[in-house]
A and B are shown apart, each in its own frame.
Chain A
Amino acid sequence: MTIVPALDLFVAGVVLVVAVWTVAVRNTSSAVVGFVAYGLLLALVWVRLGAPDVALTEAAIGSGLTGALLIGAAARLRAGESTVAAERPGVPVRLLIAALATVVAAAIAGVLLSLPDPAPTLAPEATANAGATGLGNPITNVLMAFRAMDTMLEKVVLLLAVLGIWSLSPDAAWGGRPHLPHRAEPDAALEFLARVLTPVGVVLGIAVLWVSADHPGGAFQGATILAAMWLLVLMAGLGEVPDIGRRRLRLALVVGPAVFLTIGLGGLVVSGAFLSYPQGFAKPLILAIEFAMILTVATTLGLLVAGPPVAGPPAAGSAAAGSPARRAAP
């Protein structure tokens, strides 16, 4: 069976070629396409490496959602692209860039080559203690129980990112509606896709979370799929981005970290340590956190792609006239 290593090498080669092409190509939108293709191929590589959890994350975040973010960025930058492409930096600047890039690459290569050969690992401990939570997937165990603190802080970082983007809005637009640059006259094919694909995607997103107790999956991957479906609905013009001042939107943004923190503090009272789950209740508590989290993360990721608010909030009297948020709040 020498064909299997040959195939692995072939896939690795294709991924490398696409990566180099993405960096080398001059046209922004081509580079974005290359990046998306690279992410989708990388999902294949992760499956071959026996890491389907990472493959799910890569397919969902690495190519799908980041791709949409980059497409939006490329569209906004298109006006100035020709002038930027025309001016080439001088020789000293280019030499400096080359030197810095070489230093970074050499540093990464040095670190990789100097890793101890049997890499230090906590995997045996994680597998040995899997019974403590009642979950079968060791990755969910690590993320939601053994290193739950990291996961919680990660969600807070996402929230800070949304605040950072909102802070770019002009004063007059504060509390108003983000401008998702996808507003054109309705397109029948896109609308059909959004109507038919969204229910499938919502089911799949929740399924990816639900199976994560015992099989590859997770709240973050599921939330990314939900966010992608929300963005598809917005793109097709079937829904509006809600005003960022809406109370229900703000609630959706904080419910995940809030539930996480409450259960964590409850652990301090009941079992004597922050984020420790009482014996026998680990699985229901983890599921509660994950379901609160999927709502928060999906809303957060959608708002990250939507960008800062640009249009002012509706006048106080006509607040009720704003179109209802489609899926921002349950």
Chain B
Amino acid sequence: MSVLLDLVTIVMVSAGMVFFLAGTVGLLRFPDTLTRLHALTKADNIGLGLVVIGLVPQAGSLRDGLKLLCVWLLVLLASATVSQLVAQAARREGDSS
């Protein structure tokens, strides 16, 4: 059983890292602010989600597992809204220059 849980962790965390990597590559390679924002928010949120799902089997207690999921939900909500705000700022910068 524990081998199976460890396997879930390894697969999920690795998959999460692939998304983190994709997000950073996008951040480094994409040409303008809006596309970079796209790379950062989309990739990182899925990445964090997969990492969280991978870590839940390793959490010491039910409370810790629930807290891990709370972190992800909070980041999902916050980052989706903040990316709207950053995109508005980017558009204004583009307008004024």
Residues on A facing B (Cβ under 8 Å) = 187, 189-190, 192-193, 196-197, 200
Contacts and interface: CB of A to CB of B under 8 A. Distances in A.
A113 to B, nearest CB: 39
A189 B81 CA distance: 6
A118 to B, nearest CB: 33
Nearest to A190: B85
Nearest to A196: B77
A196 B76 CA distance: 12
A193 B88 contact: no
B81 A193 contact: yes
B84 interface: yes
A193 B74 contact: no
B85 A197 contact: no
Interface in B2-34: none
B90 interface: no
A200 B81 contact: no
Nearest to A193: B81
Chain B interface, >50% SS class = helix
A197 B77 contact: yes
Given A189-B81, A190-B81, 16 more contacts: A187-B85, A187-B88, A189-B84, A189-B88, A190-B85, A192-B81, A193-B78, A193-B81, A193-B82, A193-B85, A196-B77, A196-B81, A197-B77, A197-B78, A197-B81, A200-B74
Closest 5 CB pairs of A and B: A189-B84, A193-B81, A189-B85, A189-B81, A192-B81
Interface string B56-94: 000000000000000000100110011011001000000
Nearest to A188: B84
A3 to B, nearest CB: 16
B12 to A, nearest CB: 21
Interface string B38-59: 0000000000000000000000
Contacts of B82: 193
10 contacts: A187-B85, A189-B81, A189-B84, A189-B85, A189-B88, A193-B78, A193-B81, A193-B85, A196-B77, A196-B81
Nearest to B73: A200
A190 B82 CA distance: 8
A200 B74 CA distance: 9
A229 B82 CA distance: 15
B92 to A, nearest CB: 12
Contacts of B88: 187, 189
Contacts of A190: 81, 85
Contacts of B84: 189
A189 B84 CA distance: 7
A179 to B, nearest CB: 22
Contacts of A197: 77-78, 81
A197 B82 CA distance: 12
Nearest to B78: A197
A158 B85 CA distance: 33
A67 to B, nearest CB: 14
A190 B83 CA distance: 11
Nearest to B87: A189
A193 B76 CA distance: 12
Contacts of B78: 193, 197
A193 B77 CA distance: 8
Contacts of A200: 74
A41 to B, nearest CB: 16
Contacts of A196: 77, 81
A197 B78 CA distance: 8
A320 to B, nearest CB: 36
A190 B88 CA distance: 11
Nearest to B74: A200
B83 to A, nearest CB: 9
Contacts of B74: 200
Contacts of B81: 189-190, 192-193, 196-197
Contacts of B77: 196-197
B44 to A, nearest CB: 15
